[in-house]
Structure 1
């Protein structure tokens, strides 16, 4: 096999023991057409030198990677789904396929979606539609390009089956996806232990997560590990939630089984990016009450963190957990100020001024109806981009009286270090976006003509944006 010198397999998850997973077998697919391989991500874990045949052997037929997991593991967890507790969850159409370390020693997971039935499939077929796989590639790529802490779509292989689905024209094509992420341990992992009364495993999981995913945290004899972990998770979740909001991203299904213990964003189903600033905008057609709308995402994250705190009550003082949780709103607001400064490409000044800038920008975006991605694109870099913004197709928005205060705040800001106003990305009049129309147009080309050049073009555009924003 053609592994590079940076290939470093790992087996860390197996040290938790069989109570955390089920050994499973992957589905056998009638076909294997490689549609996408993330060479950049593969290079971080020493898999970029695989031939296409070797790639398909590992990520389509799931031959084990040498030195990593000998068999796939379907992870066990519970969770609240739209705030209704469900004890019958777990990996129902995916599994943990392998663990690897990157060049910095950070543990990473290769997890699947659409790889077949498991003990947790609940009557489902364990498969993934090709469209669902393409949508995950688009969501993860766009979020990564915007600087969001996200899992990465690693591989997509079309599998030659026809699937019946009630929410899209059927039969539809099938695929198996592999994602690269920091961890697949989630809040629901802790919930399962608490719900089944396996309280002895919670401190063991706390220690594992701290040592594996938060090595920067030093635990002394005077410290409470569960409190340290809860504080760290709250900080990470606040950060990614703020990043979503600045990116105009709506996850769609913020159930507790979709909140990773590392705070990394993952598992993209009915996601959307905002066309305009609208707190009531929802991504999932079945979210009838807007529980997980754009504006409700911070509250949904805090609610999920409260469920994690409940799992830790036997291992940490109630007062300490409550104090950490009550600090989440301000922690989130501070992260949101920082996220909007990054989104606008401007240096931070002070806590007060950063908040004033963020509030002025978002208020103007909401009241004016300007396309969400337009203002951060036109004004990226602050004062240095004023002339470009005033000459853009959105110049009429910036001539409105309501924009004067925003203009003053942006015009007083320096650009982030390394900003290149002459970058090709900023010579365009239209920012890169991932609105539903863009997704559907791309899918039409794929489904009607099997034309994959459109996907390549969209991903190329994201790459140009990423290079301009310095997120690559």
Structure 2
């Protein structure tokens, strides 16, 4: 332990060639924008780390204790399918780890803290818009029950940075994660032919995230690690799709070994449902469209497996056979999560008929796409309307369109819920409860996020603070204004989201 708060497992466990010690670059006039007191309580942070001038100076990087040794981590990655041998933390510094109340360590990182050896001619800074976007969306994801990094604090720097659309106020995000090990972390050592580095990295990943695998033989342990990461990734992507989330930049350097959502750059939540929807301004070819996310997850896992081949077996052909034997199971692995999720979205429990129930939901999604129906609100309306209730059915017909396909689906759904199609029925109270647990009322709608960011850039934090309160209560209306549940008007629609780098 380096001091009363921070550990430094990254210095102790990772290959020395995989990180660099770097001091944060001072900022001129730091000020706290948002602070996550609920998360701070999970680490029992002392008061002088939560508020006041000293807390601001510490989290801005201006006055870190001497016992903290900030480091930038090296990694590589495939960006939109193209290999990049060296990336790394170009604007982020890892301070160390805090002990969570669950006994596990969590990384604490400053994002936007200045240049590092991996900045690639960038300024190492972040703007207030991207910082607040990550704060809002990552906290929304945590409230939705989806594995994610968390935001502990957002601070203004008092400095101005230059970006694509002109000058922006600078900011720093304090990010918390189970770790910052990425698929691209392995690619960094694989590009360099560093087998020892790969082994140390794999050992660290197992010890930090999957300690139950430590009892495995080393070669079996590595394959088991790949299998566990595959399962976590399949589950994560299915959860993204449950709430209509589009990551927007699923490069291998943005995929974590822990199975947490990492990096909220050009991310977005769907309003009207379109299976192939793309909102990321950098995804011009639709590589990471909503419905492509499972396929891209498997593609990324294949790149990870290629890095691990030297650890799977000394014979390359045998190592390839072992990796391929595992990865060919990804589609089935994904369906094990995705099909029960689809069934739950229409209130049906997992049963031997789960594939048929998932197909019933897919048919509904097709109707929604034809009608341009709102993804979130359609499922909530379905949860309110009993399958045989005439008024409720009419509301759904109004949403989905008064077409024969709509009425055919509503009849099939009613028969399924009542058990009239030969399968087990579902009690109405159970159906409603399951849908209420699965389908959110509130998501961080893109037009509301953008409005909050524009206001914050102009010095008004109130819209961001109000939206944060809303997204932290995703499954209940809680008397909150209806504006947070309404889709955007045509003139409010967000057609592209941006990285901010």
TM-score, normalised to structure 2, is 0.82
Superposed displacement of residue 294, structure 1: 1.0
Residue aligned with 1:312, SS: helix
Aligned pairs for 1:309-328 within 5 A: 309-316=305-312, 317-328=319-330
Superposed displacement of residue 177, structure 1: 0.5
Q: Report the equivalent of 2:481.
A: none
Unaligned runs of 5+ in 1: none
Aligned pairs for 1:52-451 within 5 A: 52-53=51-52, 54-61=54-61, 63-64=63-64, 70-166=68-164, 168=165, 170-221=166-217, 224-316=220-312, 317-341=319-343, 343=345, 347-350=349-352, 351-380=354-383, 396-397=399-400, 400-404=406-410, 405-409=412-416, 412-414=425-427, 419=433, 431-448=441-458, 450-451=459-460
Residue aligned with 2:195, SS: coil
Residue aligned with 1:232, SS: helix
8 Å Cα contact 1:41-1:154 kept in structure 2: yes
**Alpha-carbon separation, structure 1, partners of 2:454 and 2:11:** 42
**Alpha-carbon separation, structure 2, partners of 1:158 and 1:345:** 44
Q: Does 1:454 align with 2:463?
A: yes
For these two proteins, the number of residue pairs brought into alignment is: 454
Partner deviation per Cα, 1:275-303 (whole Å, 9 max, x = no partner): 22212211321222111111111111111
Partner deviation per Cα, 1:394-414 (whole Å, 9 max, x = no partner): 854387415413454467545
8 Å Cα contact 1:89-1:120 kept in structure 2: yes
**Alpha-carbon separation, structure 1, partners of 2:386 and 2:190:** 53
8 Å Cα contact 2:378-2:399 kept in structure 1: no
**Alpha-carbon separation, structure 2, partners of 1:298 and 1:421:** 23
**Alpha-carbon separation, structure 2, partners of 1:319 and 1:421:** 42
> Alpha carbons of 1:162 and 1:237: their partners in 2 closer, same or farther (altered >3 Å)?
same
Partner deviation per Cα, 1:8-66 (whole Å, 9 max, x = no partner): 64221111242121000101001111111111111111227444124313211364469
Q: Which has the higher contact order (CA 8 A, sep 6+)?
A: 2
**Alpha-carbon separation, structure 1, partners of 2:124 and 2:249:** 19
8 Å Cα contact 2:160-2:170 kept in structure 1: yes
> Alpha carbons of 1:378 and 1:161: their partners in 2 closer, same or farther (altered >3 Å)?
same
> Alpha carbons of 1:105 and 1:288: their partners in 2 closer, same or farther (altered >3 Å)?
same
> Alpha carbons of 1:221 and 1:295: their partners in 2 closer, same or farther (altered >3 Å)?
closer
Residue aligned with 2:92, SS: coil
**Alpha-carbon separation, structure 1, partners of 2:340 and 2:251:** 26
**Alpha-carbon separation, structure 2, partners of 1:437 and 1:106:** 37
Structure possessing the higher radius of gyration over alpha carbons: 2
Residue aligned with 1:98, SS: strand
Partner deviation per Cα, 1:379-425 (whole Å, 9 max, x = no partner): 348859979955869854387415413454467545669949999xx
> Alpha carbons of 1:31 and 1:331: their partners in 2 closer, same or farther (altered >3 Å)?
same
Partner deviation per Cα, 1:234-266 (whole Å, 9 max, x = no partner): 001101111111111111111110010111101
> Alpha carbons of 1:298 and 1:284: their partners in 2 closer, same or farther (altered >3 Å)?
same
Superposed displacement of residue 315, structure 1: 1.4
8 Å Cα contact 1:73-1:96 kept in structure 2: yes
